Amino acid sequence: MNILANDGIHPAGHAALEAAGHKLWTEFIESQNLESFINKNAIDGLLVRSATKVRQPLIDGCPHLKFIIRGGVGMDNIDVAYAREKGKEVRNTPAASSQSVAELVMGHLFSISRSLHDSNRRMPVEGVEQFKVLKKSYGKGRELRGMTLAIVGFGRIGQSLAQYALGCGMHVIGVDQKSGTQNIDVVVGNQSLQVEVPVMKLNDALPMADAISLHIPAQSNGQAVIGSAEMSKMKKGVILLNAARGGVVDEDALLEALDSGQISGAGVDVFVGEPKPRQDLMRHAGISLSPHIGAATGEAQERIGLEIAEIVAEIGSK
């Protein structure tokens, strides 16, 4: 089959697809040229990550296209229901990047709890002349052990994050549509310990958490899941983490909550205006920032590439 990996693919996945006899293009085609390229080269399959948008006009304009695969979890950059209605198979790789996203969230959580995100900005500029002042400013850090982490969206990524948090001695609450419990395997060396984690509704978890991490898709109505009303129910001084999707958190409400102290710090990997996020978010001292890199590790990209090759093989066998 002819396959376009428009947002790239790991060499392992590339090699697996070519070894299976597929012809692969990996150069990035701009959106205005994508329909023409797909039709000219009789592309059977389109592989995307988050940069390429696959909307109804492109789907209508490429009748030869048989399948679309999103290398990653969220598929809000694809008109999934419409593509399937038109007979095109749409798949993703939900498990491959879970560990990478979870580790990034833990990185933000460690950074915020000790103000590393802000001290790393100020030390190069003020560290020589203001060392003692900065030492005093950043001398009120918090330990993660004993804190309660609420994980909103308790699927694969949320449960991977729970493993790390439990390993650090945190208390974990899962937040999902159904209440109950979920067993989480915590790996310690060569041993595995099973821990039962309570799962509850969002409004019940908000006032209990010292830190809250979001792992839910963008809402179809475009509304934020966490806005000023939800923030008002949180503990004062809570840490908020978003490595899910821009728009899940109301950015205006987040800035207000940071300025008031209702939220003490935020770890943000995703933004409403990507790839041009708003300047006031970028410059706020209370936000630990990263440029949508949750799944951007070599290990995750290799797993994604190999999983894509497996999905293509499965589609080809039908």
DSSP labels for 240-309? EEE-S-TTSB-HHHHHHHHHHTSEEEEEE---TTTTS--HHHHT-TTEEE-SS-TT-SHHHHHHHHHHHH
Beta strands in the chain (DSSP E): 2-5, 23-25, 45-48, 67-70, 89-92, 148-152, 171-175, 180-188, 191-200, 211-214, 238-242, 263-268, 287-289
The one catalytic residue in 89, 274, 278, 302 is 274
- 292 is a catalytic site residue: yes
Task: Return d(Cα 318, Cα 307) in angstroms, integer.
Answer: 17
Q: Is 126 exposed, middle or buried (0-12, 13-18, 19+ CB in 10 A)?
A: middle
Sequence spans of domains, the chain? 2-94+298-316, 98-289
The one catalytic residue in 49, 292, 303, 307 is 292
Do 2-94+298-316 and 98-289 share a fold? Answer: yes
- Express each pLDDT in 47-84 by its tens digit: 999 889 999 999 999 999 999 999 988 898 999 999 99
- Express each pLDDT in 108-165 by its tens digit: 999 999 999 999 999 999 999 999 999 999 999 999 999 999 999 999 999 999 999 9
CATH of domain 2-94+298-316: 3.40.50.720
- Express each pLDDT in 10-32 by its tens digit: 999 999 999 999 999 999 999 99
CATH architecture of 98-289: 3-Layer(aba) Sandwich (3.40)
pTM score, two decimals?
0.89
- 122 is a catalytic site residue: no
The one catalytic residue in 215, 245, 284, 303 is 245
